[in-house]
């Protein structure tokens, strides 16, 4: 099977099952332009399973087809790539991680796809020992905001796996003054999860930044705290 045939089969299927009502339903979750077929998660899961069982489908075909799916522009076209990639974890290599770095220029253009990478795919590379935290160094200063967002989202799993949160805090420090809303959200989410695990260490870090870092980070990081505790991290006037 060629990448062109593989892509065309998905495109035809997407058009056939398009649902404008679903597009309207989910568009409210995206500040960016939400261009989608309107496919349900159940349909997407069934399609992913069908593709995985197709004769001739493998990781090589998926990677060669990726530019075609990204050029499609539809939300589900990128989603199916990530869903399939997540199901091919046994085939991951350090070289694949490097290739994924190029996907942000091609078509990772919203928070949901960045979070699919950060929550499910990228942590697997770390779990397998193929990459270490410093392999994300260039991601911290990437011109693509969703690539930056992937770093704190990925490190949530590190924190849950018992890694020293102070080391993680030091690593994400370059993002604490970001101007990108989506990156602030990722940092805030990361800090909220760290607070659940290591509240004292997390609060110590937050206190250092309470008068300088964007408030959105603190709104999310302090979300689960008591009202009284949240007041400690209110910006001084």
Q: How many whole angstroms separate alpha carbon 33 and alpha carbon 174?
A: 28
**Whether pLDDT at 237 is above 80:** no
The residue behind tokens 């990204």 is 70
Q: Where are the domains of the chain?
A: 1-91, 110-237
pLDDT digits (tens, 9 = 90+) for 66-80: 999 999 989 999 999
Find the largest Cα–Cα distance for the chain: 64
pTM over 0.95: no
Q: What are phi and psi of 147, to 5 degrees?
A: -70, -40
Q: How many whole angstroms separate alpha carbon 28 and alpha carbon 123?
A: 28
pLDDT digits (tens, 9 = 90+) for 163-207: 999 999 999 999 999 999 999 999 999 999 999 999 999 999 999
Q: How many whole angstroms separate alpha carbon 9 and alpha carbon 216?
A: 42
Structure tokens at 235: 């910006």
Q: How many whole angstroms separate alpha carbon 162 and alpha carbon 198?
A: 10
Q: How many whole angstroms separate alpha carbon 22 and alpha carbon 44?
A: 13
Handedness of CA 192, 194, 195, 201 (dihedral sign): negative
CATH architecture of 110-237: Alpha Horseshoe (1.25)
């Amino acid at each position: 099977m060629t990448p062109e045939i593989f892509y065309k089969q998905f495109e035809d299927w997407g058009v056939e099952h398009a649902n404008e009502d679903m597009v309207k339903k989910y568009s409210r979750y995206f500040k960016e332009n939400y261009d989608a077929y309107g496919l349900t998660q159940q349909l997407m899961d069934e399609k992913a399973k069908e593709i995985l069982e197709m004769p001739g489908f493998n990781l090589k075909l998926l990677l060669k087809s990726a530019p075609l799916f990204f050029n499609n522009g539809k939300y589900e076209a990128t989603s199916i790539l990530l869903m399939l990639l997540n199901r091919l974890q046994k085939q991951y290599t350090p070289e694949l991680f490097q290739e994924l770095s190029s996907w942000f220029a091609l078509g990772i253009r919203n928070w949901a796809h960045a979070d699919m990478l950060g929550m499910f795919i990228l942590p697997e590379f770390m779990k397998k020992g193929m990459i270490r935290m410093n392999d994300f160094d260039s991601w911290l200063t990437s011109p693509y905001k969703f690539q930056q967002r992937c770093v704190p989202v990925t490190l949530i799993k590190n924190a849950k796996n018992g890694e020293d949160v102070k080391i993680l805090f030091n690593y994400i420090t370059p993002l604490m003054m970001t101007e990108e809303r989506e990156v602030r959200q990722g940092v805030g989410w990361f800090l909220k999860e760290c607070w659940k695990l290591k509240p004292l260490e997390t609060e110590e870090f937050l206190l250092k930044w309470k008068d300088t870092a964007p408030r959105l980070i603190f709104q999310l990081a302090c979300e689960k705290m008591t009202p009284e505790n949240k007041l400690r991290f209110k910006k001084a006037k």
